[in-house]
Chain A
Amino acid sequence: GNSVTQMEGPVTLSEEAFLTINCTYTATGYPSLFWYVQYPGEGLQLLLKATKADDKGSNKGFEATYRKETTSFHLEKGSVQVSDSAVYFCALASGGSYIPTFGRGTSLIVHP
């Protein structure tokens, strides 16, 4: 079946540091890949997505590239801000009868 593995947190960084949160997956077929962000007390918001191999999703300075050869979708940001502190979820989804699959979430804490 489908699965998503993302690095455990918390990830603690200073403001303006470079961020990488690793995500790898196993899936049947050709899934779409997503990163979601959850701020305290809120639901999940779509951060970025990629629907086919070699696509790069980007939003708010975050980027992730769909790497089929390494089955990865790592999240990166060149310079994090305190306001980026949140929990980040990697996910995949396919059509048909497949149910979306989420990673366990990675907490990011950014210090001033």
Chain B
Amino acid sequence: EADIYQTPRYLVIGTGKKITLECSQTMGHDKMYWYQQDPGMELHLIHYSYGVNSTEKGDLSSESTVSRIRTEHFPLTLESARPSHTSQYLCASSEPGPPAGNTIYFGEGSWLTVV
């Protein structure tokens, strides 16, 4: 079982509110990722990190920001939520390489609804 945790699992907030989605992993992985996904659809990479103090934007433009102050923690923040941000957000981390094989582990996801 993967040791990667996301909170909250479900969140309904009003437009204009600031929110932070938390993600923590206890596997000591350097690489971590945030994906945005509509139900059952393709994954869109919005942020990733190679390690502490490293953050990069992904393929999909996002108004969110991330930080990586500790290896185990990779929170995602929306300063001002809008209805267009309604989606599922998936956090993931990956193993460093051979022999582990770079396996990617996912959290259970955070469902955000902005009303």
Question: What residues make up the interface of A, taking CB atoms closer than 8 Å to B?
Answer: 31-32, 34, 36, 38, 40-46, 49, 51, 87, 89, 91, 93-97, 99-100, 102-105, 107
B53 within 8 A of A: no
Q: Which of B43, B97, B98, B109 has the most CB of A within 10 A?
A: B43
Contact of B102 among A42, A89, A100, A107 (CB under 8 A): A100
Which residues of chain B come closer than 8 Å to A38, judged between CB atoms? Answer: 40
For B102, give the chain A residue with the smallest CB separation: A93
Query: Which of B45, B103, B106 contacts A32 (CB under 8 A)?
Result: B103
Query: In the complex, given contacts A40-B39, A100-B102, what are 15 additional A-B residue pairs having Cβ atoms less than 8 angstroms apart?
Result: A32-B101, A36-B106, A43-B90, A43-B106, A44-B92, A44-B106, A51-B98, A87-B40, A93-B94, A95-B98, A99-B33, A99-B48, A100-B104, A102-B42, A103-B42
Number of interface residues of B (CB under 8 A): 29
A51:B50 contact, CB within 8 angstroms = no
Cβ B105 vs Cβ A40 within 8 A: no
